[in-house]
Amino acid sequence: MAMEVFETYESEVRSYCRKFTSVFQTAKGSKIWDEEGREYIDFFDGAGALNYGHNNDYIKERLIDYLQKDGIVHALDMYTTPKREFIEYFEENILQPRGLDYKIMFTGPTGTNAIEAALKLARKVTGRTNVFALMGCFHGMTMGALSLTTDMASRKGAGVPLHDVTHIPAPYMFPELDTVAYMERLLTDDHSGVERPAALVLETVQAEGGIYVFDPEWLRRIEAFCHKHEIMLIADDIQVGCGRTGGFFSFERAGIKPDMVALSKSIGGYGLPMALLLFKPELDIWKPGEHNGTFRGNQPAFVAAKAALEFGNSTHLYEKVNDKAKIVEEFLKTRIQAIDPALEIRGIGLIWGVDMSKAAPVGTCRKVITECFKNRLIIEQAGRDDCVLKLMPALTIPEEELKAGLEIIEKSIKAVLHGEQ
């Protein structure tokens, strides 16, 4: 009865609610409660939109204070106090300390819109149409971003051909293949049939692709390749940015400076819709209004975003990610792999995957998710055939809740693989 209204009136396109069959009501930190009062630990984190946890007190206080003062909520791209304060803080505390010189473009408040803007700008700057993307990537569900995305289930929804993209094998797919040399050959062989692209778009950690962490040296070679051929390097940091990998940007560990960076999800601080595209100043050849959107001036998101950055810096949150990462890695590589050595562990910071593809049949990971939910843990799956259990807790999760969630994973995998209760 509690879910009848959704099942009757909401579109069949709904997805996450089919896995997590409760009606949720309240949330705090890394815990969620449903209408029946059942408590769940959250290892899903709003698909990466809640790095600072549910209803973070520091952010909430500033948001409520702003609304109580009748601060402007909707302003398109007009100048506002919250936008100015966010830009100043972001420039002085995020970009400048990292030696990054970027213009900031506020796109429609979704990650896919930021990717669309990046593609349009790269094509406008270079005059080229083709784009390189990696197999295993996910960049969004609108037409341009979906053309990059390789997941066939997502691509089938387009209804039209998806083109102007050349997909390159990711480095983990064929270990014997030098992917950078492969791309070099594509561009220098006059019989390759592949045109020089406007851009190369990548995630430094493929999340939906199955939690694959790209080697820093490989990323540096990619940057050099792009510079050599005057190709725009676009980093999609929508899910793995904002501290998820231990640095604010996921590419910091490689010491590279992409031409463009797409941010969304946790840049909104409080789960509020927000997205931005960073790009080098010389690329700013937009005409006024050439890319726009009604909700790119979501003022509460600017307030929450600045508060989230303040909270992250004042609590040294991003630096502490690596301490929690050690807890997760040790647990997964000792306790979880002990269940079955064929289980593969991959990850960095606070995004990890347990790959079950070599240990159990397709569909096993979904059973583990169901078992985890029964044991009061919300966790997702990713990768080829959805065979990878995807751990992505909030960066703020207390150690005791982190360990409790890991123990639920252990218990659930044992129950599914070996029938242990």
Q: Name which of 202, 211, 58, 65 is nearest 139 in CA terms.
A: 202
Quick one: 367 and 221 in the same domain?
Answer: no
What's this model's pTM, rounded to 2 decimal places? 0.97
pLDDT band at 318 (very low <50, low <70, confident <90, very high): very high
The answer, yes or no, to whether residue 10 has pLDDT greater than 70, is yes
Question: Residues with Cβ < 8 Å from 90, sequence gap 6 or more?
Answer: 104, 305, 306, 309
Amino acid of residue 146: L
Question: Residues with Cβ < 8 Å from 323, sequence gap 6 or more?
Answer: none
DSSP H/E element including 120? helix 111-126
pLDDT of residue 391: 98
The average pLDDT across 410-417 equals: 96
Quick one: 51 and 200 in the same domain?
Answer: no
Quick one: 160 and 249 in the same domain?
Answer: yes
d(CA 219, CA 216): 5
Quick one: 283 and 400 in the same domain?
Answer: no
Looking at 261, 279, 314, which one is the last position of a domain? 314
Encoding tokens for residue 177?
């293949």
pLDDT digits (tens, 9 = 90+) for 153-208: 999 999 999 999 999 999 999 999 999 999 999 999 999 999 999 999 999 999 99
Quick one: 180 and 92 in the same domain?
Answer: yes
Quick one: 386 and 247 in the same domain?
Answer: no
d(CA 250, CA 305): 18
The answer, yes or no, to whether residue 420 has pLDDT greater than 80, is no
pLDDT of residue 3: 87
CB 267 within 8 A of CB 242: yes
Amino acid of residue 13: V
d(CA 351, CA 250): 11
CB 318 within 8 A of CB 312: yes
d(CA 382, CA 347): 13
The average pLDDT across 230-252 equals: 97
pLDDT of residue 421: 63
The average pLDDT across 143-160 equals: 93
pLDDT of residue 1: 58
pLDDT of residue 277: 98
Q: Which domain holds residue 392?
A: 4-55+317-418
pLDDT of residue 2: 79
Q: Name which of 99, 75, 98, 96 is nearest 87 in CA terms.
A: 96
Quick one: 165 and 34 in the same domain?
Answer: no
pLDDT digits (tens, 9 = 90+) for 261-286: 999 999 999 999 999 999 999 999 99
Computed from CA positions of residues 46, 50, 402, 333, in that sequence, does the dihedral angle turn out positive or negative? positive
The average pLDDT across 328-349 equals: 97
Quick one: 160 and 284 in the same domain?
Answer: yes
End-to-end CA distance of the chain: 30
The average pLDDT across 293-309 equals: 96
Looking at 314, 333, 355, which one is the last position of a domain? 314
Encoding tokens for residue 235?
């980093």
Instruction: Determine the 3-state secondary structure of 383 from DSSP.
Output: coil
The answer, yes or no, to whether residue 243 has pLDDT greater than 80, is yes
